[in-house]
Structure 1
Amino acid sequence: MENNQNNPMEMAGGDKNGQSGVVYGKIGKGQSAAGDHPAGSGMPQDGRPGKHHFSRKNRSSGTEKKMVTRGIAVLLCILMFSFGLVAGRIWDFSGTDQNGYKKIHSLRNYIAVLDVQGTMGYSSGSYFQENPYDQAFLLDSIDQLKKDRNNKALILRINTPGGDAYAIDELYQKIIEYKKTGKPVYTYMESQACSGGYYVASPSNKIYANRNAWTGSIGVTMGTFYDVSGLLDKLGIKTQTITSGPNKAMGSMTEPMTDEQKEIFKGLIDQSYEQFVGVVAKGRKMPVKKVKELADGRVYTAEQALNNGLIDKISSEDQCYREIKSSNGLENCEIRYIAKDEDKSLLQTLTGMTKLGGLSMTGQYKQAMELIQNGGTSFSVMYMSQVRK
């Protein structure tokens, strides 16, 4: 029998040709294959190691190592991808500004897109629907963009029928401030950019519109005045309003409006109308006379608006963005959509569920009582289209 004591490794289960399935550790001089393994340990007592005693352990250990290695590799990939996004592709909102809105900051040059959506004003909602328009957020965002060196242009993405004349002119003035920095302003009209929507679009360097967009409606309204005096007479209800002058309660729903009062109201909206016409004439570089020919309150389709010089091009939104980039040498700039942080607490969510159109039931009751107490004399000057899309 050949002496195996000097062999560094013993082949278990091998044949005469040296074929073997498992290689086991070195057995020293004077040590049997059984060694110190007691019965029941899994090592046979005949001096030969069991065929699978070490192989299962080695295989299990190898599998675990592979799984750990793969897990580390996946984790590293995720971390590297996340770092790349933070470093170059997404917004870095760091802290809040003095108005409580999150600061706008980007590590790369970008073109900002601001949405002008919903009925324009300082109110957060109406009786029937939530209003996405947020005047304070828009003004704050433009203030930040004016100071941001990485911001290269502003695109107003408009979808509104208009709204309150005061809020609209405030936004218009803020857009003019932005333009004074030397950065261009563009408008893309979505479904509609009527009345006040066109007012804020008019100073844009170029106005684009979807082919299905409606725009125009250049004019002013004070809403509808109601006269229920005849109904009150039929019901036998008499009212009396004590004022210091004959026109102090003009517009009251309990008294018919006189011709003089109609002229007074007309004078109020005429001044706002002239202002609207002047804004359009200046922004579109169009004679006032021509603007007034177009400014009879009618709504225009995109094609009609293009033919009348109210917009510059009909295109898709993607085409609009590509052209803005190429015409300004901003091909390497990214389009950044600026949106308000909408994280709501559970309490805010539950509170919102009790609202009807953004106004709580208590608020609706309060407004109804105010309407009755004021005699229906609360009216706003509006750059608002009565035709909605």
Structure 2
Amino acid sequence: MLGVLASLVVGLATAPRAGRPAARAVGSRAVGLIYVDGVITGGESAAGFFGASTGSDSVLAQLKEAREDPGVKAVVLRINSPGGSAPAAQEIGDEIERLRKAGKLVVASMGDVAASGGYWIAATSDRIIAEPATLTGSIGVIMQLTNMQNFYGKIGFSYETFKSGPHKDMGSSVRPVSPEERAIFQSMIDDIYGQFINVVAQGRNMPVERVRAIADGRVFTGRQAKTAGLVDELGNFNYALDRAAALAGLGKDYEVREFGKLTPIERLLNQLAGAASLRLPFAAGSVPAAPGPAGLYLLFVPPAMQ
């Protein structure tokens, strides 16, 4: 058993990462590669048995490294994400703008899903490439609250709240949302939604009115998104790498320089998380039993193929 375990560890440590391209050539003619996998969150990226997440702090560090690397002439963002935290997606988008201002070309390559917050990130790039069957779009903001008042009453559970102001416990699970609170929550959603609209309009060079007409939360296939002007080209991951190199004037002889490489154990956890995510539902912005506000999310929950 120990021998088998040792062989497995050695194999994980030495085997090339599945789906990751090998470096081509060497020198100062490089295309940077950054992955945005799983739900987008604040903080550091994480991998686990029940889901992987991309942390904005981790991606910001990788984007900064690519920006300061003189050998990197273009960057491919490989996005496979249903979205997530609105501020986290915004942070990443802002850093992509800095990367572009530094003279680096940015190409977004969409995988299975690049929706909601994943599309926010893609919209800040110079060019978007998707597969015809990619699920993308879902431009919108969502917040969900849980009211457990009736349940608590059935089990004899009571909650007493002391607060400094009338809205300090907005989103509490122990009472209904008041009309005034409902208006406050909706104003927050509308504000972030307007910011999302502006990011897409600016990134895609589209009138705001045209973006609003299709930004009702609907999901597009990659082919539909291209027709709607949300995607530039159809193609796979390798095509996106070659296209980024060509647009940056690197030709066919270029190096792929990956930032934020995972350890063998992280790779294994990500693979397990990817399989689990097809089976487990994700509650966007759900509120725990204790009172407190929910998060504002840019999230699309894709259906699992049976």
- TM-score bin, normalised by smaller chain: 0.7 to 0.9
Distance across 1 between alignment mates of 2:159 and 2:139: 38
Counterpart residue identity of residue 105, structure 2: P
Partner residue of 2:69?
148
The percentage of counterpart residues that share the same residue type is: 31
> Are 2:149 and 1:229 equivalent residues in the alignment?
yes
Counterpart residue identity of residue 302, structure 2: V
Which residues of structure 2 form unaligned runs of 5+?
A: 1-21, 275-286
Among 30, 54, 64, the alignment partner of 1:110 is: 30
Per-residue Cα deviation, 1:147-179 (whole angstroms, up to 9, x for no partner): 222111111111000111111111111100010
> Are 2:80 and 1:159 equivalent residues in the alignment?
yes
> Are 2:179 and 1:259 equivalent residues in the alignment?
yes
> Are 2:302 and 1:387 equivalent residues in the alignment?
yes
Displacement of 1:305: 0.5
Displacement of 1:125: 4.5
**Larger RCO (CA under 8 A, 6+ residues apart):** 2
* Structure 1 residue ranges, 4+ long, deviating more than 6 angstroms after superposition: none
> Are 2:170 and 1:170 equivalent residues in the alignment?
no
Distance across 2 between alignment mates of 1:152 and 1:132: 27
* Change beyond 3 A, Cα 1:327–1:107: closer
Output the aligned Cα RMSD: 2.8
Distance across 2 between alignment mates of 1:386 and 1:123: 22
What are the residue-to-residue correspondences of 1:1-389 with 2, within 5 Å?
107-121=27-41, 122=43, 124-125=45-46, 129-222=50-143, 224-343=144-263, 371-372=288-289, 375-387=290-302
Q: Secondary structure at the match of 1:120?
A: strand
* Change beyond 3 A, Cα 1:323–1:238: closer
Displacement of 1:388: 5.2
Displacement of 1:324: 3.3
Displacement of 1:304: 1.1
* Change beyond 3 A, Cα 1:388–1:116: farther
Q: How many residues align?
A: 265
Counterpart residue identity of residue 381, structure 1: L
Which residues of structure 1 form unaligned runs of 5+?
A: 1-88, 92-105, 358-369
TM-score normalized by the length of structure 2 = 0.77
* Change beyond 3 A, Cα 1:243–1:376: closer
TM-score normalized by the length of structure 1 = 0.62
Displacement of 1:344: 7.3
Distance across 2 between alignment mates of 1:172 and 1:186: 13
Counterpart residue identity of residue 250, structure 1: M
* Change beyond 3 A, Cα 1:333–1:154: farther
Per-residue Cα deviation, 1:166-194 (whole angstroms, up to 9, x for no partner): 11111111100010012211111010100
Counterpart residue identity of residue 180, structure 1: K
Per-residue Cα deviation, 1:37-67 (whole angstroms, up to 9, x for no partner): xxxxxxxxxxxxxxxxxxxxxxxxxxxxxxx
